[in-house]
Amino acid sequence: MSPRRPSSSRPHPLPRRCSTRRGRPERRPRPRHARRPPRGRGCGTSRCSGSPRRPTRASGEVSLVSRACDAVRRPGGRARYRAHSTNWLDGEPCGASDQLLRWTARERRETSPAHISVRARDCCRWVLRPDLRARPVRVKRVELAVMRAPLAFVSVVAWAVAATPHLPAQDLARSRQTAIVTAATRLAPAVVSVNVLRRQRRLPQDPFDLFFTPRGSEQVVEGYGSGFIISPDGVVITNQHVTQGAEQIVVTTRDGRDFPATIQGEDPLTDIAVLKVDGSNLPTAPLGKSTDLMIGEWVVAVGNPFAYLLGNSEPTVTAGVVSAVGRNLLPSEGQSGIYVGMIQTDAAINPGNSGGPLANALGEVVGVNSSIFTSSGGSVGIGFAIPIERALRVADELRRFGKVRRAWVGLDVAGAEDLRGWKQAGGLRVTQVAVGGPAGRAGLVTGDVLISALGRRLRTFLDWEAVMLDTGPGDTLVVSYRHAGGTRSVRLAVTDFPTTLAEKVAVLGGMKVVTVTGSVRAERNIQSDHGALIYDLPDEMEDATGLRSGDVILQINRVRISTAEDLRRAFSATAGAGAVTVWFERAGRLGRTAFYVR
């Protein structure tokens, strides 16, 4: 039976998208699978007129009947229906398309296009702009494909066919203002570049230098690093290895101003140095805390890598995440500092970043960049920062006393030879307890196993060193330990080192010695039960005498030394009497040296 020709004499057009140009529909690219129906073939319903029905101006609505009746019949029983809907007031679909899609496959097979249009018309309308003649401002399209097969397959594709409006300029600027941008803007004004000049002994570079380089000759070398201002009057925190041996220090601010700086104090053990510049109303870095850092949160490292080689004093900002906290780095050869309890980050830290701040996403300083693991000399994503709490405590000690007072509780723990011993012991083994010290008075004995301190798990001696670095004299340390099969908890009164509290006796002009006592022996791990410990010794006296700070002088010629006063009298008696032979203990071994006393 031949198909019935629609009432209209014009051929049935393909569905077209509404155009904003009056009276001229815009052609849509025809899909490859679509075929033009024979001329004059409609959908076969009494409502279909064979062409899209123009909307009526009086009602202000567009009926979906004609759109739903624009069906393209294809061989094989597949039908494609199109329904257009929008709401001009809020720019969102009115919901008619969702209603069409919620019908079951059976309902779609049994429902004619005319019925689909009636259901859509009941809940979906196009709201028209009053100055346009029945034209929608925005068009949403929902395509509903029904396949007559043993298993019905429904494919739904929805998208906006109108051009997406451009974001306002203020929205684009707001989207660029990320947390990293905010942190860098807040912190960068307080970051400075630290340039130092120091003298180094010139070493031969080739065989010819052995003949033409004077012995002991020195050369002036330039070093650089970073720092940040913590007070408006010009107090700067940086790394000690940046300022070590410096003869001249110049601090350069972000705006290019140069300030001569002086060293207020250095602490090689924690790798912290404090500088002072003559300035006022200088920008300061906001200070945060590292105790609540979360693994994976954003951090920024700010500094001046390669200093002037980058052309200006604008600090460099690199971003990364907190890779780990509480990292302990095993000491390496020639390393004077103890890097324990460190913050690990993958933010790029390069030469010149040392001493610069590591900040959280709020722009608050949480650490001081100090070291990296690298095989090439540059950043490989493994950098470490000193916790800000430790840096501030050390800086305060240096400013108040010129040195850092160390915490002492009167016990020693297993060292590097027992790094894996905690797995069997369940903690850190106590190897020695000083008689009369805080730990001895609290009841700890040799052989006890420390479990935790300051809320931190103790496994190796590096964990214990981190606790000691973050504790100062006068604090109270809560320690959990295992004794005789049971777990106990005690509060230890932290004091200063016995050598610090002991009376100092000056000999030979610049040498300072203290008497060896039980507490001093426990502190310095001295084997001898008598002698005088060298507490401080100038560099020039080290070269002249062969002695070192920390040596214990046991005997002068044939005179036994028991106290610091004995040593002073012995040196006075041998002045101008020829060479003096000194017997001493160094790192548990017996040594001897000879020199003249004038």
Q: What is the pLDDT of residues 504-542, one digit of tens each?
A: 999 988 899 999 998 898 888 899 999 999 999 998 899
pLDDT, residue 379, reads 78
241 is catalytic: yes
pLDDT, residue 211, reads 64
Cα separation, 426 vs 178, in Å, equals 45
Residues 325, 264 contacting (CB under 8 angstroms): no
pLDDT band for position 236 (50/70/90)? very high
How far CA 588 is from CA of 168, 265, 498, 552, 591, in Å, comes to 75, 31, 19, 10, 10
- By the 10 Å C-beta count (0-12 exposed, 13-18 middle, 19+ buried), 207 is classed as exposed
Q: What is the mean pLDDT of residues 111-132?
A: 39
Least confident of 32-46, 230-244, 376-390, 575-589: 32-46
Query: Residue 280 in 3-state DSSP?
Result: coil
State the catalytic residue, choosing from 354, 370, 379, 519.
354
Question: What tokens appear for 110 in the block?
Answer: 């049994």
Owner of token pair 């929805």? 158
Residues 117, 78 contacting (CB under 8 angstroms): no
Q: What is the dihedral of CA 140, 141, 142, 148, to 10 degrees?
A: 170
Residue range 498-596, CATH number: 2.30.42.10
State the catalytic residue, choosing from 63, 117, 241, 371.
241
Owner of token pair 């002072």? 276
Longest dimension (CA), the chain: 139
Q: CATH number for 411-493: choose from 2.60.120.560, 2.30.42.10, 1.10.3720.10, 3.30.1370.140.
A: 2.30.42.10
336 is catalytic: no
- Summarize pLDDT for 172-215 with one digit per residue, the tens: 777 788 899 999 999 999 999 999 998 877 766 766 666 666 66
pLDDT band for position 314 (50/70/90)? confident
561 versus 213: the higher-pLDDT residue is 561
pLDDT, residue 128, reads 35
How far CA 336 is from CA of 240, 271, 559, in Å, comes to 10, 8, 35
Enter the pTM of the model: 0.66
Residues 224, 352 contacting (CB under 8 angstroms): yes
Question: What tokens appear for 492 in the block?
Answer: 């230890």
Quick one: DSSP state of residue 409? -
State the catalytic residue, choosing from 271, 463, 551, 566.
271
Cα angle, residue 230 at apex, residues 227 and 234 outer, rounded to 5°:
85
Give the whole-number percent of the chain exceeding pLDDT 90: 46
**Domain spans, the chain:** 1-165, 181-401, 411-493, 498-596
Could you check whether 181-401 and 411-493 share the same CATH topology?
Answer: no
pLDDT band for position 333 (50/70/90)? low
| Mean pLDDT, all residues of the chain | 76
Residues 301, 320 contacting (CB under 8 angstroms): yes
pLDDT, residue 144, reads 34
Domain 181-401 CATH class label:
mainly beta
On the question of pLDDT at 98 being above 60, the answer is no
On the question of pLDDT at 60 being above 60, the answer is no
Q: What is the mean pLDDT of residues 121-150?
A: 37
On the question of pLDDT at 126 being above 70, the answer is no
On the question of pLDDT at 70 being above 60, the answer is no
Quick one: DSSP state of residue 190? G
7 is catalytic: no
- Summarize pLDDT for 284-306 with one digit per residue, the tens: 999 999 999 999 999 999 998 87
Going by C-alpha positions, the residue among 444, 427, 424, 426 that lies closest to residue 435 is 444
- Summarize pLDDT for 422-473 with one digit per residue, the tens: 888 889 999 989 888 899 999 999 999 999 998 899 999 999 999 999 999 9
pLDDT, residue 29, reads 57
Owner of token pair 């369940």? 426
Quick one: DSSP state of residue 437? S
